[in-house]
Chains A and B, each alone.
Chain A
């Protein structure tokens, strides 16, 4: 290692003593100056760009306006998103399950409407009847009563097979008689 160093130093010494001359020393000088100038230009370009883009930071009112606008924009964003979130959460609490697709009448209303419809449909357009409220009420009550009795009777027939057969047989006989006529 020390041998190597010695050799190197010897060579350098010989070269120094021989005083080598540079044929065109101005070339290297120009090259160095050019290199430094280019580097300065690039750096000046970036600085120029930054100065152009951020020139407003030196103007007080522009700077304040930009900062103000940015803060307002941020505040609007926060407010809008919070409002949206609040609205959506409040709606989620109100979600209901709608099972049926069509509007239905409630049972009581339906019963009343159906009953009156059944009555009204029996009255032809050319016929006129005059009844008072109490008569209508009485009629509706007896109609309901009759309907209930019919339902009970029907259920009894359905539940009793013998009774059901009896009625079916009777109905068949009636139908046969009808066709004969």
Chain B
């Protein structure tokens, strides 16, 4: 990759990651029994600027929008915009996502609501999914164990709280381990993505390199990327990494394809995305979720780009409500059958 391309890619990543115009956003979905959903978006910003292009979650003029101002004890001003709308179903939410022109417009998101009648209870499921961005990356579960995965998906405030609370040293060490493993995972994903895209780009060309021989070099590429560390940019720009991997001849012949594949892989590894949080309030009693439940029964998930790189990020919650009429009908039926059995026994006697 030449210097300009690398810089452009890095600049793009920085723009995605650093843009401070994006408000801190929490989306709350209140799910009702009939499948309708009341969606509330709360955006907080240090400036009174809520440009559509900076928003993580879409909303439009059909929403009820309220603006307010919060001033902390220190005198810091926070501008708060709240938007609220009742949707008749998840289809309407999905249509809104399709028409999104905000900062996260490139990421596919969709919601699903399922209602299952189970006689004594009715089960409600709500899922919001963010589709994966990479095509050939590895699953994070191959690198982290269940406990580490739980930590990886934890909201930042829980991590910070643990790192600063009791056993802080233990938690910091644990976090460092996860950071290292995550870094390794990302390098592997980047290598895999680059190899597959590179193989696609050079396929059909004369003296092309087979995907098998490229895949055999995946470990080498990961090692080179890891080893190069902060100097990766310059080493790639000077063609040192690619020459080390493919040899002088192939590096010279497929230099453009290698740069293009690197751009694609980098854009998939660092998608344009601004973090936010999702909350769900389910009808009835909550029975299952992969989110974080607080004492008030509210479920929340942080939504970060690293969560949906190689697998869709599914935020799901299940709840149940009791069907009292079914309980009464079943009770009467049981009494009826039991009476019949008793009568028969009496008459037999």
A: residues with CB less than 8 A from B are: 50, 54, 56-58, 63, 66-67, 69-70, 73-74, 76-77, 80-81, 84, 87-88, 91, 94-107, 113, 116-117, 120, 130, 132-134, 137
Residue contacts A-B, CB under 8 angstroms, 12 given: A54-B340, A54-B343, A56-B340, A73-B333, A87-B287, A96-B158, A97-B294, A98-B155, A101-B26, A103-B155, A107-B160, A133-B233
Chain A residues with CB under 8 Å of B157's CB are 98-100, 103-104
Chain A residues with CB under 8 Å of B343's CB are 50, 54, 57
Complex: A122 Cα to B275 Cα, angstroms: 24
Chain B residues with CB under 8 Å of A102's CB are 24-26, 44, 277
B230 touches A134 (CB 8 A): yes
| B159 contacts the other chain (CB 8 A) | yes
B337 touches A67 (CB 8 A): yes
Least CB distance from A104 to B in Å reads 5
B295 touches A95 (CB 8 A): yes
Q: Which chain B residues numbered 265 to 320 have a C-beta less than 8 Å away from chain A? A: 275-277, 285-289, 292-295, 298, 300, 302, 320
Q: Which chain B residues numbered 12 to 46 have a C-beta less than 8 Å away from chain A? A: 14, 17-18, 20, 24-26, 42, 44
How many residues of B are counted as interface, with CB atoms below 8 angstroms from the partner's CB atoms?
54
Complex: A100 Cα to B155 Cα, angstroms: 10
A105 touches B156 (CB 8 A): yes
Spot the interface stretch: B114-122, B192-200, B218-226.
B114-122
Complex: A102 Cα to B288 Cα, angstroms: 24
Nearest-neighbor residue (CB-CB) of B3 within chain A: A130
Nearest-neighbor residue (CB-CB) of A79 within chain B: B120
B18 touches A77 (CB 8 A): no
Chain B residues with CB under 8 Å of A67's CB are 337, 341
Nearest-neighbor residue (CB-CB) of A87 within chain B: B287
Given A98-B292, A105-B156; 19 other pairs, CB 8 A cutoff: A56-B340, A57-B344, A81-B120, A84-B287, A88-B285, A94-B292, A95-B293, A96-B158, A97-B295, A98-B157, A98-B294, A100-B157, A103-B24, A103-B277, A107-B160, A113-B17, A120-B18, A130-B7, A133-B231
Chain B residues with CB under 8 Å of A107's CB are 160
B: residues with CB less than 8 A from A are: 3, 7, 14, 17-18, 20, 24-26, 42, 44, 118-121, 155-161, 163, 230-234, 275-277, 285-289, 292-295, 298, 300, 302, 320, 330, 333-334, 337-341, 343-344
Chain A residues with CB under 8 Å of B20's CB are 117
Chain A residues with CB under 8 Å of B120's CB are 76-77, 80-81
Contacts A84-B285, A103-B275 known; A137 to B295 CB distance under 8 Å?
A: no
Which of A100, A101, A103, A134 has the most B CB atoms < 10 Å from its CB? A103
The 5 closest A-B pairs by CB, nearest first: A87-B287, A102-B24, A57-B344, A70-B337, A100-B157
Least CB distance from A42 to B in Å reads 19
A98 touches B158 (CB 8 A): yes
Chain B residues with CB under 8 Å of A132's CB are 233-234
